[in-house]
Structure 1
Amino acid sequence: MSTLSTTQDSSAAGDLAVGEYWIELVPAVRGEPHQVSFPAVIEPYRHHGLWVRPRLRREVAEAMCRWLNLVYPVDPDWYPLARLEGDLLVVFTGDAAHHRHEIGPDIDGRYPLGELGRWFLSGPPRTPDRDADWPAAPRALRYRRDPGEALVTCDPGTPARSAFPARIETREGTAGRVAMFRLEIAEAVADYCIRANQEFPDDYPLAYFDGDTLVHVHQHRRTCDGYLPWRIEAMPDGTYRIDGDEWSFRPVHRKSEGMPHAFR
């Protein structure tokens, strides 16, 4: 196989378009530049029971090619090479002729990767700031509690780090609770979850903002056929209502051991 040119510009193209979610290829090595997220439309069925089948816009496919050619020398047995030849996306998974995979654009101009690669639903591209300081106390510590708000957590085992102010409602006819967060608190909750997921991906969901929409990626359901992340739109009053079994919050007692003084 001929070696393709390597470039340091491995960034994914732009933000999410309508119907897209962030995906990531299982890396050979953790850390930059091996963990990079790309925006893609997700087909309903997984392959091998785990991995998503992404469809990429051309500019994203170009960015994926640049990135694969950058990381390929680190582990040629793990990463393929890729390039665009006219309208074809060509992926090389080995030296033999049958390891050359030619993918043409579909009717909407996207390139369906099918079963090429172990891609999974992920979050936005990593930043040094996001990787730096978990599990430090969450940034929500600087936020006030408004009248009518109580402390809630999606991580009862660590209330000292994961308590956030929210309005709480009880679901009618059940013992379940609904948490409603102001925008700044919803951002802090998402920040906490995405940092925690990086360290303990089986225990925490991913959460991030796509514009004004809060997106929740369940840590286990994301491998299921037909699953797409939960998109939570702001209510008319600007709050984000977390009402569902996928992401549950529990009240935190003020005298919980280790609770920061600012929350008491």
Structure 2
Amino acid sequence: MNTPTTQDPSAGTDLAAGEHWIELVPAAHAEPHQVSFPAVVEPRRHHGLWVRPRLRREVAEAVCEWLNVVYPVDPDWYPLARFEDDLLVVFTGDADHQRHEIALGEDGRYPLGELGRWFLSAPTRTRARFYRQLEVLRDAERHFPRPGETVVTCDPDNLPVSGFPARIDTKPAAPWVPVFRPDIAEAVAAWCTTNHHKVPDDHPLVYFDGDTLVHVHQHLRSLDGYLPWRIDPDADGNYRIDGDEWTFQAVSVKSEGGVHPPETAPEDGRRARSGSPA
């Protein structure tokens, strides 16, 4: 995974209520200056894929600062932007018709509309986040089930390292549901997001917003009206993955005794929910 080599202009700008992380399509794959920004996302996409962000003033200022950094990398790809009093001005070229003036909306945000190829993303891939994910993924204890837990996976092609322990919640006439301890949920999130950056079509983006686990479906995110799935902890602080967007299958039988490593192949595995894996 590549990590940014410049300071994150959005540092200190967290998600506000109703916001989601967005990212501009880079000029080149694995562009080291990539940064995510918080924004409200309008329901309708443009050109069938890209989101229409609405930015707070401080976020719009951070976007302007970031564009000044990346513009020299590829002036034909990145626009320039600046504020003129309360007007956000975006330049997509030198001609008069390439000057786009964006006034503050009634909601107190700047609507970018169809300017830029923005997509739903996750927090900026900083060095600190990168090394934290490595630390989590190297923690072997997060793969070992406690008594009463079963090893499950949402990525059966990469067992055993993709297997994580969960309590299986079962109800009559309903599919079983995995319930993860907080430290295991962090490991599952790190696994999914790390692999998303390598093979984005096969893995979701998963991250934490405070104590809330956020799942960004790699295919559904391009659909009108889609917003990331937010999973709050239950009363015990655990995470119940009860939905069709993120599916798991069992890898091992339930642990009845001491801690032991997960099996290397599925045994009677089945989906927690029907539908395509995310």
TM-score (norm 2): 0.84
Distance 1:171 1:37, change over 3 A: farther
1:103 matched to 2:102? The reply is yes
Matches within 5 A, 1:113-262: 113-128=112-127, 130-131=129-130, 138-139=137-138, 141-143=140-142, 144-170=144-170, 172-174=172-174, 176-253=175-252, 262=261
Q: Give me the whole-angstrom Cα distance separating, in 1, the residues matched to 2:7 and 2:197.
A: 24
> How many percent identity over aligned positions?
64
Partner of 1:258: none
Q: How many corresponding residue pairs?
A: 250
SS at match of 1:263: coil
Measured against aligned partners, the alpha-carbon deviations of 1:94-143 in whole angstroms (never above 9, x if no partner) come to 11001000001111211100000000000011023555799999345223
Contact 2:8 2:126 in 1 (8 A): no
Partner of 2:20: 21
Measured against aligned partners, the alpha-carbon deviations of 1:200-246 in whole angstroms (never above 9, x if no partner) come to 11110010000010000000000000000000011111110001110
Contact 2:170 2:176 in 1 (8 A): yes
Matches within 5 A, 1:24-103: 24-31=23-30, 33-103=32-102
SS at match of 1:68: helix
1:223 counterpart letter in structure 2: S
Q: Give me the whole-angstrom Cα distance separating, in 1, the residues matched to 2:138 and 2:184.
A: 9
TM-score (norm 1): 0.88
1:123 counterpart letter in structure 2: A
Post-superposition offset of 1:32: 5.2
* RMSD over equivalenced CA pairs, Å: 2.2
Q: Give me the whole-angstrom Cα distance separating, in 2, the residues matched to 1:15 and 1:159.
A: 35
Q: Give me the whole-angstrom Cα distance separating, in 1, the residues matched to 2:85 and 2:184.
A: 47
1:166 counterpart letter in structure 2: A
Contact 1:24 1:37 in 2 (8 A): yes
Contact 1:10 1:66 in 2 (8 A): no
> Does 90-99 or 9-18 show the bigger shift?
9-18
Post-superposition offset of 1:263: 3.2
2:169 counterpart letter in structure 1: E
Measured against aligned partners, the alpha-carbon deviations of 1:139-179 in whole angstroms (never above 9, x if no partner) come to 452235222111000001112221111001235424x3211
Distance 1:102 1:9, change over 3 A: farther
Q: Give me the whole-angstrom Cα distance separating, in 1, the residues matched to 2:195 and 2:135.
A: 10
Instruction: Could you tell me which runs of 5 or more consecutive residues in structure 2 were left unpaired when the two chains were aligned.
Output: 1-5, 254-259, 264-278
